[in-house]
A and B are shown apart, each in its own frame.
Chain A
Amino acid sequence: MLKKIYLTLFLVCFGIGISLAQSITGKVLDNDIKTGMPGVSVFIKGTTQGTTTDVEGNYSLASQSNSVLVFQSVGYTSQEVLVGTQSIINITLLSDVKNLTEAVVIGYATVDSRDVTGAVVGVKADEIKDVPAQSFESILQGRVTGVQITSGSGKVGQGFNIRVRGSSSLTGGNQPLYVVDGILITSSSVNSNDEGINPTADINPNDIESIDVLKDAAAAAIYGSRGSNGVILITTKKGKAGKSTFNVNFSSGISEATRRRGFLNRSQYVELLGESLRNAGLSQVDVENRLNVLSPTWRDPDVDTNWENLVFRSGKFKQLDVSTSGGNEKTTYYLGGSYNDSEGIIIGNRFQRLSARLSLETKVNDKFKMGGSLMLARSKNFRAAADNGFNNQLQLVAMPNIQTPYGADGKTNLGTLYYNALTELTDAKNTAVTLRNLTNIYGVYTIIPGLTLRSEAGLDLMYLVEETYNGRRTAGNIGAAQGLGTYNTTLVTNYTLTNTLSYTKNINKMHQIDALLGTSYQQSDFESSGVEGRVFASDDFKTIASAATITAGSSFKTNFNFLSYFARGSYKFNDRYLVSISARLDGSSRFAPKTRYGFYPAASLGWVASEETFIKSIKQISFLKLRVGYGATGNAEIGNFDYLGLYGTNAYGSSSGTLPTNAPNANLKWETTYQFDSGLEVSLFDDRLSLTLDFYQKNTRDLLLNVQTPSTSGFTIQTQNLGRISNRGIEIDIKSKNLVGEFKWNTSFNISFNRNRVDFTNGQIIAPGNRNRVINEAREGEAIGIMYGVKYAGVNPANGDALYYAQDGSKTNNYTSAFRQQIGNPNPNFIGGLTNSFSYKGLELTIFAQFVQGNNVYNMAGSFMSSNGDDYDNQTVDQLSRWRNPGDITNVPRAKFGDANGTRMSSRYVYDGSYLRLKTVTLAYTFPKSWLEKSKLSSVRLYLMGQNLLTRVASGFQGWDPELSAGFTQTSNQSSNIIMGNDFYTPPQARTITAGINIGF
């Protein structure tokens, strides 16, 4: 609009109104690589006359002096030039960075960020490249507001706990919905043991173009019943019209545990254990007898095994990516292949992935275009054992250091206190191989200009093979089985079929109308089978075919489906007033027929105030938008048949029987979340400083709750719609260009506060898991997962007894009569990240720190490893400061063997889990183009990256690493919702240093 005015003025002022036919030639150059750009369309504005540039970027076109030439290419800013008297017009096109960063993927559409009225955040490929990660979640961590990502442990290929704006369910799932290029993918672990395998690790992070997270109801209601936990939309890399590019990226690095904890050495161990046994009434002779039983060589100062150092190793990381992309105005493609090999910091733990992706889109004719993508991946996990298994290598730290790891024969010493898990490396096998296929195919048909029909079919196929073999010398050789092998397969097939009809119309450049009508169908089929065999001829034969007896075998099937109808309408008036309304109707087979359908409407308003004249006059404000939205989303993440009264099977001797397994509830329906969101987006000083501020209130009603029933009924739970939970929070995101020019310095900072509260459970306390270990609960009026139990009051200086607080605040040494209260909260007060990036010419330095504050973690294994010598387990070094003589002031009680003096579950093992982590530091150098001109290379970039270089923990934190969630506690929705922040010999995060090179041709 403005341009036109200028143009008219220009013409009038200079009086050049004469029209003359003339031939124009020229060359179009790419600003980035300064070479000719093929396939650029050049045409005369307002006409159909035009041409495209040739391979060298040259064009020629007949025009008139008053013609305006338009140069257009996808991914570049269009340019318009008045021909005037020129006969040669050379043009340099700038890549359209602005356009790329501001496109936001919302459900079933992509829109300009300034028109978005919901809370959506995202990251682009550029921000997340170079990070040595097996899956994208860790890359997202700390970079976007309102999304809390917690890694389960430092095992490679690990799962993550992701909470978008807090937990909105107690018993139902809280993980967000994952959508890759429009396909709903399988995102939760489907493996057969307690240690999860992350299905998203099958997707190569380097294939991802952008990740967008739909946080509020206005944005997510289009996913209706699936939107309560937020939606993560992943867009993979696509080809761009233009010159074909070829890109190779290789990086390699090493890793270490972020911290080693430190355990007693030989003399300390012997001293503490001896004292503990004597205090329990044993004579010195008895003590020495016991030590002799543990190890006849206990007096030998040379036998001092540092078991912790045997468990950790230096890990290795390698990734190679090769890709090519390109195309013309008609067809675009992207083809990439990748190999990743990550050796974890825990012995025996390794992840390998081989993957390939092809994506293609072609315009069949003016009205119809078709496209699709195909991803194939094979991931192999050499698994570390579940945290609670005696074969978990990290449990080796419990071993007395007076015992040796290996015997004289070079084999592992099996006479150790607990099973010597080093044996797993030589005598056991535990692998999981996933074959994954993600395919989608779509057609887009333009019925009339503005009205398009899009049909899309997606398939997510996952085939998992888990194999274990436990040799004769292993703990897994249960019942002296003479070798025990298992072979489990799981096949998950997820189909998505989506049809949308969309309409867009602009009337008089004042009214922009967009409408969407659609239907979607998802079906997920799950089947698994397993077989167990025993009695192998020797440990060299590890497949079931060599087992003399097949001791177990089973197969399992289940499925569910969803049928949905949705609609969205949005209206924009005069570029400043925005209205959007959406609704979705969902039916799920997980609910009783009469309550099967749920309806999810949402509405939102936006006001681009910076378009108003009274704000336009304020020079400092370059953009200002206010938005507000309200809507409903649902959750159906429960068992597939929870509404039915069911009988399942069990076995007795060699017969199989049946037993009641599920209490019926014919009224079971959706859990619904109502969310209000208001946001402010402002950019100041020519976009040098921008701020996004969001406030939200999320109320979830009719919780799908495992309501505890009196077990005298024969059932402990019944799934009911009972309870309310709420989350409210503030999210702040600030981006600043501190220095522009040749030396650039950008800072971005984000922080999110969320407060969760379980509002109503009808008084029920939800306490999942093994209550001899787990202290997290959900209680009315408190945040989800609070740690509830006995508060430790230190040590009685008179006699060394552990003390606990009684109800009246006095101290008692009687654990049973101590007062049970809230002793911790695993939910952080705030989370966030800070990025500083500096660049000078080709040199870039990016420093990204991530932080979590105010959450507690609980060391479940404290009762064993920090138990003032209560048992034979080796102890953490801090236990040396135990009480010894009357008057000693210490926090570690008197050592008395087997007396459980202060070793019970209490706040003694609750730590502050806050941390500040230097998540990534990247130093990169891009060679100047001029250096590369002689070679065929178009770009060369070298980089060095450090990950988790420094972790600053709260004072008093005793563990390996504060970011954790012992995998075996996460076996059901309910337990992963509530049992947060637990450490049970859980491997810490890795500190990784990688170097890489990226070459483009």
Chain B
Amino acid sequence: MVEREVVVVPEAGLHARPAAMFVKEAKRYSSDITVRKDDGTEANAKSSLKLMTLGAKHGDKLTIRAEGEDEDAAVEALVAVISKEEE
């Protein structure tokens, strides 16, 4: 299992577009991936509906956790997505 903390960089938070990009990336990996907010709420990283209901805002701290064959690569890629400004 791999786990990393990350701060939400996109200005809009995990809104529609950033959430969609995040999910698209997550779906490229076979590992089970979850995203946890520091208030304890958690979501499946491959569901944009769930992810949006987290209501993660710009500046919030999230923990990304992956478990599976490609867990390292998955966490690394998702941290990168969430650490850059929306294009």
Partners in one complex: no
Residues of chain B at the chain A interface (Cβ within 8 Å) = none
